[in-house]
């Protein structure tokens, strides 16, 4: 297990923190334990990518936000409607955490897209950075490599490569704070569950560093 915890969900590992504290599983294990049989994006080539009724297709451009320097560089091909919703939910979470650690103006948006344990892990790091007067700057990029949905449509897993090589931790005065844990590409497996609001992030695990 990596003896580190992420500063935000796809990178910026916080030194000496325990991955277990952030709701992570050991490398190679599916987040959240046993997962029902999954269908994977690309398995059904006839599925319309992200099309569901009048909804616009899910694309890298539609998921990215240049105003906050957040870019989705790639997504799986042949996403069906449910997988598209999972990808969108993951990106909502990813963007919310990135913006929270970037702007340090509150955590309500992250709370709305996570379960209690995942939110508390995020909030602990957020509070530590707020107390230290620190925030992140730079450019966030993520490549989503797979999106799997259980056969009962109640749980799902997203695997992504988070590129944190252009991220830096800075003080309130704008001075860069040394951090050996920034500057990597992190492979993440993120578990989501469906509740009354839709898909929310339930857990995450660091599967590899500088391997994607």
pLDDT of residue 31: 40
Q: What confidence category does residue 57 fall into, taking pLDDT thresholds of 50, 70 and 90?
A: confident
Mean pLDDT over the full length of the chain: 80
pLDDT: is 36 or 180 the higher one? 180
Mean pLDDT of 139-166: 96
Mean of pLDDT values over 162-178: 93
Q: Residues 93, 193: contact at Cβ < 8 Å?
A: no
Q: Write down the pLDDT at residue 116.
A: 83
For 106-135, how does the pLDDT look when each residue is reduced to its tens digit (9 = 90+)? 999 999 999 988 999 999 989 999 999 999
């Amino acid at each position: 297990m990596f003896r580190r915890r992420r500063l935000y969900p796809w990178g910026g590992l916080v030194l000496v923190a325990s991955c277990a504290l952030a709701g992570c599983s050991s490398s190679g294990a599916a987040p959240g334990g046993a997962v029902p049989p999954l269908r994977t994006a690309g398995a059904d080539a006839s599925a319309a990518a992200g099309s569901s009724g009048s909804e616009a297709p899910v694309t890298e451009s539609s998921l990215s936000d240049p105003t906050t320097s957040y870019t989705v560089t790639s997504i799986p091909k042949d996403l069906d409607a449910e997988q598209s919703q999972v990808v969108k939910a993951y990106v909502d979470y990813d963007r919310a955490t990135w913006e929270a650690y970037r702007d340090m103006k509150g955590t309500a948006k992250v709370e709305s897209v996570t379960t209690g344990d995942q939110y508390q892990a995020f909030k602990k790091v957020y509070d530590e950075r707020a107390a230290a007067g620190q925030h992140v700057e730079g450019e966030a990029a993520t490549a989503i490599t797979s999106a799997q949905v259980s056969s009962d449509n109640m749980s799902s897993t997203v695997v992504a490569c988070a590129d944190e090589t252009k991220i830096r931790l800075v003080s309130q005065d704008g001075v860069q704070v040394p951090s050996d844990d920034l500057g990597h590409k992190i492979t993440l497996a993120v578990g989501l569950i469906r509740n009354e609001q839709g898909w929310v992030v339930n857990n995450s695990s660091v599967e590899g560093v500088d391997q994607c």
